[in-house]
Amino acid sequence: MRYEDEVKGKGKQIKGAAKEKLGKLARRPDLQDEGAGEKVEGKVQEKIGRVRRKIGDAVEDIGEKIAG
């Protein structure tokens, strides 16, 4: 899937935000820290996916120009 990393990254961000808030409400710093870490992982994964997609689009464009 073309947007797989972007979608999975966004999902990790949402899951991390939920854990972070739950940890804050439950006064569990460990859970709060775990959620913050997941949010960061998700942002990185989403950005990597975006870069991969843009590189793939650029390669396709170059291929079309060469073929055409």
Per residue in 12-35, pLDDT (tens digit) is 999 999 999 999 999 999 999 999
Query: Read out DSSP for 49-64?
Result: HHHHHHHHHHHHHHHH
pLDDT for 2 equals 81
Is pLDDT above 80 for 64?
yes
pTM of the model: 0.84
Q: Radius of gyration over alpha carbons of the chain, in Å? A: 17
Is pLDDT above 80 for 11?
yes
Domain edges within the chain: 4-67
